[in-house]
Structure formats: C-alpha cells, structure tokens
C-alpha cells in the first residue's frame, strides 16, 4: 500500500515538472516569435539570405545573445594610440601625414585585435640548437569597407603579410543614411577562418552592420570589427545586430551631429585619406 502511494507521489511530481517545463518551453518559443515578428518590417539592411526565415532567425539569435550577454567592445587604452589619435584629429594635418598616422595607429590596433589568434606548436633550428615555438594556425582575411577602410589595411599587412584581402564597397545614402552595396567580389565559399572587418569610422553603424551580414553569409563566423573612432550611436546599432562580433576601437567619441558626423571625430576621414576634400 505504501509503495503504491509513493509511486503515485512520484508520478504527480513528474507531471508537475512536465507541466512546468512545458510552460517554460512555450515562453521561450513565444519570446523568439516576438523577436522575429518585431524584425519583419525592418528594411534597414538588405542582405541576400537563402530564405527570409533564415534572415529573421539570424537576427533573432543575435538579439537573444545581446539580451543575455551584451557585446564585447574593446577600447585600446595605450599612450601611443592617444597621442597619435590626437594628431590625426587636427584639421591642419595634410594627407601624407594623415596616411602615415593612420598606418602607425592601425599597426598598434592590429596587435590588440589579434591577441586571441590560435597558434600551434612549431619547431625551428636556431644557429645554436632546436627551439620549440608557435605559429599562427588560422587563415586570416581582411575585409576593408571601401573606401575609408583601405587606410587600415597596410597597418594590418605589416604584421599579417599572408592575410587575404577582400574588398566590399559600401556607401551611405546621403538622404536615407542607409548602406548601399556597390562592390563585392567574395568567392562562393569562404577561404579564411577569421575575418577582420576594417573601417576608419563607426558613425551610424549601417555600413559595418551590412558588411558583417555579408561576411556571415559568406560562411565565416569568427569576425571582429576594427575601427579608429566610433560614436555611441553606432556602437549601439552594431551591437543590436551583431552582439557576437567584438569591436576593437581606439576612441569612442561624444555623439553624432545632425548630419550624422561623429563629434569631435576626424571629419570626412575618407576624403582626408584620399585627398579629395577639394573636389566637393
């Protein structure tokens, strides 16, 4: 008799557990459905996904990661960076010095951005004796966002001469501020393990968001965004779309102005880099 009572209590206990788990599961499903639904009318970034459902699920997953963990933003706090960024901001700096400073800064930035690169054991022979060491074990791709992102490439290649360089052309529509893709020659299948998306500025975040979507669709999941100067608005926009992508930046400035320029910023960094200010 007592055994039957105990068995009944066990069944009741597990029935309650099952009901509770079902309620929790239903809540999670409802949560994801609400996130997906909230994105269905968003047309700010258009990327070619294999299906509409995949696009919404990717954004829902990223939103869920952000709500749980937030995003990693690494601001490089180094005296040389601070010194050279200050020089770079000066409106009197000519194109030649602007390019040189950008290259010097990005070399230091590359050192910080690549701290977690995987390595494997490698033995070499010195003039004295064999020595055990390490070498980078992952293939690396640099994806500068044209055109300002080109200014970061050389500094990275100084330290990563074997890196592949793939260009993606994006510009910000002057009326809508939405990113517009005009150049993309990525091969069909990914040829690298890690991608560093490179841009001088993270202002509204639109071009960085769209480029990162493209790289993910290419099939690379290990991605970092590297830029010199960012606005808080751009960081918030980027982290809401790609909370799984760390951002490495030299300086986070005050805000965006009414024209969506970073304040105090660098001005039009693309024009300063390419010496095209006088053509406007």
Burial of 112 (0-12, 13-18, 19+ CB in 10 A): middle
Sign of the CA dihedral running 115, 118, 121, 122 = negative
What is the overall mean pLDDT for the chain?
Answer: 80
Query: For residue range 152-209, what is the model confidence (pLDDT) as tens digits?
Result: 899 999 999 999 999 998 877 777 777 888 888 889 899 999 999 999 989 988 889 9
CA angle 156, 158, 164 (to 5 degrees): 55
Query: Which residues lie below 8 Å from residue 95, measured CB to CB, with a gap of 6+?
Result: 272, 273, 274, 275
* Residue 43 pLDDT exceeds 50: no
* pTM score above 0.75: no
Residue 214 main-chain phi, psi, to 5 deg: -65, -45
């Amino acid at each position: 008799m007592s055994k039957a009572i105990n068995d009944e209590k066990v069944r009741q206990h597990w029935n309650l557990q099952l009901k509770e788990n079902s309620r929790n599961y239903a809540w999670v499903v409802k949560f994801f459905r609400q996130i997906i639904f909230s994105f269905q009318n968003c047309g700010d970034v258009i990327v070619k996904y294999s299906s509409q459902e995949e696009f919404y699920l990717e954004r829902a997953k990223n939103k869920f990661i952000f709500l749980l963990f937030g995003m990693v933003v690494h601001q490089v706090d180094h005296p040389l960076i601070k010194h050279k960024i200050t020089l770079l901001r000066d409106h009197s700096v000519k194109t030649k010095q602007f390019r040189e400073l950008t290259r010097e800064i990005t070399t230091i930035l590359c050192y910080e951005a690549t701290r977690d690169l995987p390595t494997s054991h490698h033995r070499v022979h010195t003039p004295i004796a064999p020595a055990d060491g390490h070498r980078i074990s992952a293939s690396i791709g640099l994806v500068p966002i044209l055109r300002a992102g080109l200014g970061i490439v050389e500094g990275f290649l100084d330290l990563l001469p074997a890196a592949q360089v793939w260009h993606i052309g994006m510009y910000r529509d002057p009326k809508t501020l939405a990113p517009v893709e005009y150049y993309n020659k990525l091969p069909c299948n990914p040829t690298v393990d890690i991608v560093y998306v490179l841009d001088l500025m993270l202002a509204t975040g639109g071009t960085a968001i769209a480029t990162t979507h493209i790289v993910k669709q290419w099939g690379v999941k290990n991605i970092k965004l590297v830029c010199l100067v960012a606005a808080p608005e751009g960081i918030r926009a980027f982290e809401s779309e790609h909370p799984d992508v760390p951002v490495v930046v030299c300086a986070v400035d005050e805000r965006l102005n009414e024209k969506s320029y970073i304040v105090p910023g660098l001005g039009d960094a693309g024009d300063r880099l390419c010496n095209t200010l006088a053509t406007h």
